[in-house]
């Protein structure tokens, strides 16, 4: 069974590909946001302590022969790296990625992110943070930081442009798996 970590910028499709791959391979899918953030309303306002999120995630992943982990765990999730069989790095044109994020924010939160909504300020800050991914340094999650992290990994890294259809991305990942990792 395969143990795959999929990462990239917010809006690059890591969760979408992760869910599709998990369904295809018959393994569980986990997203780092579910471990990184404490469930709150409004969401994404309180980070879990590193030791707690890492303990929760490592406990689940270690108990399973195969899984898909989507989202970024670079830095805080480094103790998980020995569990990975393959790392998939998704890239996407920044303009297309930001359009995806804006549509996703609107679909999820509608009026809450509109001017005067209880999530307007947080959503605007999130979109500004996400827009900086391709130009920021190591002060935040960024392309340069993820590239540096990827260069240090011994695990195979598959780089994909996520503007391709999900079925095509799925096929590319499955083709990189050893024969025994391609089925549940």
* pLDDT 10s digits, 103-162: 999 999 999 999 999 999 999 999 999 999 999 988 889 999 999 999 999 999 999 999
> HSE-up of 61 (CA within 13 Å, CB side)?
27
Q: State how many domains the chain has.
A: 1
Residue 126 in any domain: the answer is no
The string over 114-149, giving b where at least 16 C-beta atoms fall within 10 Å of a residue's C-beta and e elsewhere, is: eeeeebeebbeebbeebbbbbeeeeeebbbebbeeb
Residue 113 in any domain: the answer is no
Q: Look at strands 29-31 and 3-8 and give their pairing.
A: unpaired
| Mean of the per-residue pLDDT values of the chain | 94
Residue 127 in any domain: the answer is no
For residue range 59-76, list pLDDT tens digits in order: 999 999 999 999 999 989
- The CATH number for 155's domain is 3.40.50.300
Determine the structural domain holding residue 54 and report its residue range. Answer: 3-93+141-181
Residue 23 in any domain: the answer is yes
pLDDT higher than threshold 70 for residue 181: no
Q: What's the whole-model pTM score?
A: 0.94
């Amino acid at each position: 069974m395969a143990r795959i970590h999929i990462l990239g910028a917010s809006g690059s499709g890591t969760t979408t590909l992760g869910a599709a791959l998990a369904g295809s391979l018959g393994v569980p899918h986990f997203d780092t946001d579910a471990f990184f953030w404490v469930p709150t309303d409004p969401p994404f306002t309180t980070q879990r302590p590193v030791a707690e999120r890492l303990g929760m995630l490592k406990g689940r992943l270690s108990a399973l022969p195969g899984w898909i982990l989507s989202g970024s765990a670079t830095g805080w999730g480094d103790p998980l790296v020995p569990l990975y069989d393959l790392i998939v790095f998704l890239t996407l044109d920044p303009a297309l990625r930001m359009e995806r994020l804006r549509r996703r924010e609107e679909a999820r939160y509608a009026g809450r992110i509109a001017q005067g909504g209880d999530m307007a300020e947080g959503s605007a800050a999130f979109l500004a943070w996400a827009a900086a991914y391709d130009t920021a340094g190591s002060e935040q999650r960024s392309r340069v930081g993820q590239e540096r992290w990827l260069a240090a990994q011994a695990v195979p890294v598959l780089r994909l442009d996520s503007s391709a259809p999900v079925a095509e991305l799925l096929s590319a990942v499955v083709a990189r798996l050893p024969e025994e990792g391609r089925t549940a």
